[in-house]
Amino acid sequence: MVSTEASIYDRYRESIFPAVTAYYGDEAVVIDRAKDQYVWDVDGRRYLDFFGGVLTISVGHCNDYVTERTIEQLQKVQHTSTLFINPIMVEVAEKVAELAPGRLQKCFFTNSGSEADETAILAARMYTGNRDIVTLRHAYSGRTMLAMTLTAHGTWRLGGVIDPHVKHVRNPYVYRAPLGLSPEQLVDLCVQDLEETIATCTDGRIAAFIAEPIQGVGGFIVPPEDYFKRIEPIVRAAGGIFISDEVQTGWGRTGDKWFGIEHWGIEPDIMTMAKGMANGSPIGCTIATPEVADALKGLTFSTFGGNPVTMATAKATIEYMEMHDLPGNATKQGAALREHLEELQAEFDFIGDVRGMGLMQGVEIIKPGTDKEPDAALTAAVMAAARDQGLLIGKGGLYGNVLRISPHLGIGADDIEVGADLLAKALTQVAQ
């Protein structure tokens, strides 16, 4: 029985699966409302949001332009299912194709990044006739059984592997390169590992290689510039196609380009996206070249895929991003944020690495005086201190020791200063 006397947190503990964890444990932030760069908790405390619900708030919370278009659609038609066509779904698909690189043209809309990745794997297998999928260690692909199998963080892989055809190869994690390898040597090692994996763990033919252009949950791991260019020909020689998981890196997050993979000069056969595409409304999108999309044959259906309300929200979000050149703003404000983070790195010896692109910046926390030993407890302490200062940031990394900083893409210069200052205060607090 639910007691109305109990706090929301106590009621949450009673009513929600415990595996659905919230940041800050017993001191979880219970959000009441939000606007633009701010959220307020149920006690009326205001926070500057520098995580945006895991890179999902791309144009600010409750953005007026997006909200108005969404309400208009709510009053027009709210649901059709994919068995009936709604015009706005077609409009969004055309827009995605216009902005996507290369020959990507046909969309499949679903409700989450996990579903978008599942759809991509299915399409790749049907197109190539091959089964094996190669992906990267430290990847995160979501919480469906196949997505957890693609994921390469032990902590996020629940319930056991369901697909023996998924193979994980070494990722280009420069900061943690083994044996002190240089970035160039690390790329060589990654290439060699991919070749060996295809030769030894598959029958030599693969369906696809799927990767995030910058690994998100992995801790904003940015590959060396030539990494993907070196990988792509090997994948294609084995009959595989290239899937770019843009769930975190898509929609201007990495600055200047609409999609992360564009920075690396690759034309993927499939891209998957979700999060920032609809500014917080549940969405998944798999876009493919016409031949790959056409190869996914047979009956398939998504009750909420392409839902007109979600599509109206996505359309307005994309329009707003274009009107205000938010990919450009991500570059500009991302550079300012990065400068501050590098200054903080010079000041605090427990900051081992600062990395990222655009408004996707990571700070790796280590135990000072050690050989890059990850410090998850200190990372959690920084997050809590930041919250006490009124700043929300996220964390990630295999070892739970990377701060993830990703304010909305329209963030202004003043807020970057305020956010950096609050973070500096939090770091000073834990350093004492």
Ligand X SMILES: Cc1ncc(COP(=O)(O)O)c(C=O)c1O
Stretch that binds ligand X, among 101-109, 128-136, 241-249, 339-347 (CB under 6 A): 241-249
Among 63, 105, 128, 248, binds ligand X (CB under 6 A): 248
User: Is there a contact between 273 and 95 (Cβ–Cβ < 8 Å)?
Assistant: no
Is 210 among the residues that bind ligand X (CB under 6 A)? Answer: no
CB of 211 to ligand X, least distance (A): 9
109 binds ligand X (CB under 6 A): no
Q: Measured at CB, which residue is nearest to ligand X? A: 113
Restricted to residues 130-169, the positions that interact with ligand X (CB under 6 A) are 140-143
Q: Residue 177 region, left (φ>0) first, then alpha (ψ -120 to 50), else beta?
A: beta
DSSP 8-state assignment for residue 112: S
- For 13, half-sphere exposure in the C-beta direction (CA atoms, 13 angstrom radius) is 9
82 vs 244, beta carbon nearer ligand X? 244
Q: Rounded distance, CA 125 to CA 120, Å?
A: 9
Residues that bind ligand X (rule: CB under 6 A) add up to a total of 16
For ligand X, give the closer residue by CB, 218 or 334.
218
Alpha-carbon dihedral of residues 244, 247, 248, 250, nearest 10 degrees? 70
- Residue closer to ligand X, measured from CB, 49 or 245: 245
Q: Which CB, 11 or 143, lies closer to ligand X?
A: 143
Span near ligand X by CB under 6 A; candidates 106-114, 118-126, 128-136, 343-351:
106-114
Q: Which of 118, 132, 245, 262 contacts ligand X by CB under 6 A?
A: 245
Work out which of 217, 221, 393, 403 binds ligand X, going by CB under 6 A: 217
8 A C-beta contact, residue 215 and residue 227: no
- Among 70, 105, 114, 197, indicate the residue that binds ligand X (CB under 6 A): 114
CB of 126 to ligand X, least distance (A): 21
Residue with tokens 């929301």: 8
Query: Measured from the CB atom, is 407 or 420 closer to ligand X?
Result: 407
Nearer to ligand X, 86 or 112 (CB): 112
Q: Is 216 in the site for ligand X (CB under 6 A)?
A: yes
Q: How many CA atoms lie within 13 A of 85 on its CB side?
A: 5
Q: Which of 142, 378 has the CB closer to ligand X? A: 142
In Å, how far are 88, 246, 304 from 77, measured between CA atoms? 11, 29, 13
Restricting to residues 44-63, name those near ligand X by CB under 6 A.
Answer: 54
DSSP one-letter code for 170: -
Q: Angle at Cα 213 formed by Cα 316 and Cα 252, nearest 5°?
A: 25
**3-class SS string, 227-279:** HHHHHHHHHHHCCCEEEEECCCCCCCCCCCCCCHHHHHCCCCCEEEECHHHHC
Residues at the contact surface with ligand X, assessed by CB under 6 A: 54, 112-114, 117, 140-143, 212, 216-217, 245, 247-248, 274
